Amino acid sequence: MSRTDIRKRCLGVSYAPTGEAEVLVWAPKADLLEITMNDGNTIIPLKKQEYGYWSLTTDQIQPGDTYKFRINEDQEYPDPASLSQPQSVHGPSQAVDVEAFQWTDQNWKNIPLEDYVLYELHTGTFSPDGTFAGLEEKLDYLKELGVNAIEIMPVAQFPGDRNWGYDGVFPYAVQNSYGGPEGLQHLVDVCHQKGLAVVLDVVYNHLGPEGNYLGVYGHYFTEKYNTPWGQALNFDDAWCDGVRRYFTENLLMWFRDFHIDAVRMDAVHAIKDFSPVHILREMKQQVNQLMEETGRTHHMIVELDLNDTRFINPLKEGGYGMDSQWVDEFHHALRVTTTGENTGYYSDFTGICDLAKAYRDAYVYDGQFSPHRNKHFGIKAENNPGKQFIVFTQNHDQVGNRMLGERLGELVSFEMQKLAAGAVIFSPFLPMLWMGEEYSEPNRFMYFVSHTDPELAEAVRKGRKAEFAAFHAQGEAPDPMAEETFNNSKLQWDLVKKEPHQTMFKYYQTLLRLRREIPALKSLDRKAVEVEENEGNKTLILRRGQGEQQVVILMNFSQEPQKVTVPLGAKNWQLLIDSAAPEWKGPQAAVASVAGGAEVTLQPESMVVYQG
């Protein structure tokens, strides 16, 4: 009863081939557990099993029926493994036959991880109606842009209908206001028809505050540790077996029942686990078994703030086996280089020298002393391939966690936006775009919630104001509860065909096409990378490829024209793209070809790329 079955859904309500409902709940705190339906007029007791599980097989629960669980003939609560909460977090759960969806993606094969070009988006603000169906209408646009993997911010049920998704409290339930479980399945199916992989952001380090009922069923939380969001989930304390199974089965569900291609696991550094087998390693082992069973490939991507290769090293080397990770340090080095910001965690970064180190070593801090942390930090990532590192100019955190939610385009010039895009897309790592950056969306992406608990809503308002009290000169932090804050964070699709946004879109299109077509740019061989930086004039030369197939990327982050010497190695370097060319609304084009060892003048805040 305590073992995970990778082949089918076990926890919650599922359906046998006979049509009967099979119910399994982990509720070690209960002395009596009953399922209630029809406003309490139908009450069915569950049978107690070992290790705190309760089970039931019945023909009285049909797909679409709503139900709750009653604990000890007292309070009624939604199903902790509910797939659907049509009346949000406090309402009843809805039974769903998750295997009933008619898939058409039998011929789909996941894109090799090294070929991923990611596009992070928030379902509620990406399209005008903020649903999975609205997202489907924009898939052809994303294909035209040149990305091949959409990364969707969390969809686990949260209170109300406005939230980033990290306040989810039903990890198995798909947000009702987005389209529910069938809406997500349909979206994934359509994505696969169009050749797009789907990455889903999942949160296994904490739960949100409102509608968080897991603790009444079992020992989901532990007093041993704290996280920035409150009590830690219990992955290694007494009764942790049920918690580990709950989240492992959740991961398997996304891959097996929703055909998700990859997950991005939020802040895994906040998962506290000193078990002999770390929960991430156990999850990877289970996913490997699932892939053997189904023949499908799934990737596990983590957000990681530890610069610790143990997380991304293979299982056979004693690692946790994660396939890739976000690298915030590349972003920080690039942000300091482009904006000069030096507050908070940016104070650890000097700009162009650290950006050069990020190109060389992936981690900027790999053993040095970190002044911001007041300790030596990180280890070297010498043997980890480029596909294990995901880089970006911005993401939901780096935009939305600013007081006013300004995108990079509001902080730097049009020319610098183009340079920053090239710095990411032509890196020897996996590039990720943040929705709207490809056409320089001016709308901010702000922090928003729609808690229905008035006290909690007020606490969030006050907390946000207190967090940015030192920045009062910039104005007031937007009210996260206001619908206006949410609406003002939506993309403005009418801008895509207007200038200068259309030019920026075409520029991004061209960068992504070159990355696909030029072998030296597509390759993620970190050994075939050379970097030369000049801190004085803020230039950086990035050389990609080996032998006859080489590309050199010349970057000028200063506000003055700068002369750089093109490397030897090719008799003639031929121009691939120049961000300062008039076709990209730049001031002046560079020469179309240049001999190795010759000087080239780079326009302010520009990038010139030559192929040898």
Supply 451's token pair.
Answer: 């808690």
- Examine the residue annotation and report whether 266 is marked as an active-site residue of this protein: yes
Q: Which helix (H) or strand (E) is 262 found in, with range?
A: strand 262-265
Report the C-alpha gap between 401 and 228 in whole angstroms. 14
* Residue of 282, 303, 329, 578 with catalytic role: 303
Identify whether the C-beta of residue 204 lies closer than 8 Å to the C-beta of residue 13: no
Which residues in 273-374 belong to E strands, given as ranges? 299-303, 324-326, 369-370
Identify whether the C-beta of residue 502 lies closer than 8 Å to the C-beta of residue 439: yes
Q: What angle do CA 198, 202, 206 make, to 5 degrees?
A: 170
Asked, as a colleague might, if the bond just before 500 is cis with ω within 30 of 0, I would say yes
Report the C-alpha gap between 159 and 452 in whole angstroms. 7
Identify whether the C-beta of residue 387 lies closer than 8 Å to the C-beta of residue 430: yes
* Residue of 201, 210, 257, 266 with catalytic role: 266
DSSP bridge pairs for 430: 390
DSSP bridge pairs for 299: 262
Q: Which helix (H) or strand (E) is 594 found in, with range?
A: strand 593-595
Report the C-alpha gap between 521 and 544 in whole angstroms. 7
- Examine the residue annotation and report whether 303 is marked as an active-site residue of this protein: yes
DSSP classification of residue 603? P
Q: State the residue for tokens 């540790």.
A: 225
Helix (H, G, I), strand (E, B) or coil at 552: strand
DSSP for 468-526 reads: TGGGGGG-PPP-TT-HHHHHTTS--GGGTTSTTHHHHHHHHHHHHHHHHH-HHHH---G
Report the C-alpha gap between 128 and 491 in whole angstroms. 8
Report the C-alpha gap between 282 and 302 in whole angstroms. 15
CA nearest 283: which of 235, 228, 219, 229?
Answer: 235
Report the C-alpha gap between 370 and 385 in whole angstroms. 25
Q: Catalytic residue positions?
A: 266, 303
